[in-house]
Structure 1
Amino acid sequence: MTRARTALVLVDLQRWIVDMPWQPIGGEAVTGACARLREHFADTGSSTVVLVRYVRADGADGGVGAAANLLVPGLEPRDGEQLVTKHGLDAFEGTDLHDRLRGEGVSDLVIAGLSTAHGVAATAATAVRLGYGVVVVDDATASVDEAQHREALDRLTALGARTGRVSDFVPARADAN
């Protein structure tokens, strides 16, 4: 039996999305939590990090090079990380994400980003249907209001995803006081 390999999937952390009003935490808090997750997963050396961005298929938003479509500063792709460009809510739909993950032997996904009820939920639901073990990090995602955030998490749990917290993955720092 081979050891499960995990990928961190960070969804839609582009400035125009992050700057929208989010609940129960704001976009900056989501990006901070996602940055902490990324650092932890990158430090393990055995995890895949995938950054997902949304770009309109018709190019009306300026395409992949437009400033609005760039990931927020500090969360740009690094060497060895994957960047997936999607044209809808789901990071699997119309992309080669599933093939990339399977090619790397990934069996489990940790998903965070924006928004819980849209890109995160669509991606997580497809991942469950494709047979991945899925954890949605509930304090590293948000929606337009807290009720929508909770409803999305409840629907994903009913599908077979689990929820977790950043602290489940990122150990507390000894110097944090």
Structure 2
Amino acid sequence: MRSNERDFRKALWFAGMARWIPPIAFSAVAITIAFLAASRSGENGVTISSNLKKNHQLTAADLNIEVAAKYVGQYLKDDVSSGSALTDDMVTRKPIPDIPSGTMAAIIVLEKSAWDGLRLLTNDDVQLCLGENPFGGTTKVAAAACDEHFCDITVKLPPMTSVGADANAFANLSLVDAKLRKCATVSPAG
């Protein structure tokens, strides 16, 4: 009788344990699905719907998921593939200037009202200024990217006569229309 009783207790124990198999299996499947979904999309669930090139201005059609609205109108920093997760560090509010390889350039930050007052366009001639003094020769505006308050003006640097340049000097550069040739007309934003 003891053998039958022992067999009965074993069967009862296995039956008790077996009832936990479905919830454990369900939990494992749910965790696996959640992990796969999270690894497929970005930190915010937004993915790219097609292959896009660097500096492409995003539209709603380029993105999957409704939280994509915060990215519409921003610019890509690099090329991305379809299905790639989109994260905040992949976009910028202003376009990235397309500067040819081997070109030295500087970005001058001006208040938007000052830039608007200059009425300059891409490829217009400008004179870089360090205070009231001209800095190098005439150069060209490579790109201008503005938000509500400030503009990032990218200019090709003129040829330098000396090998070295003071990095602190670049921080204080401003620019004027090359036709005017009067430095100190516009001061850098700060």
Q: TM-score, normalised by structure 1?
A: 0.20
Larger Rg: 2
Q: Taking CA–CA contacts closer than 8 Å with sequence separation of 6 or more, which of the two structures ends up with the larger relative contact order?
A: 1
The structure with the greater share of residues assigned to helix is: 1
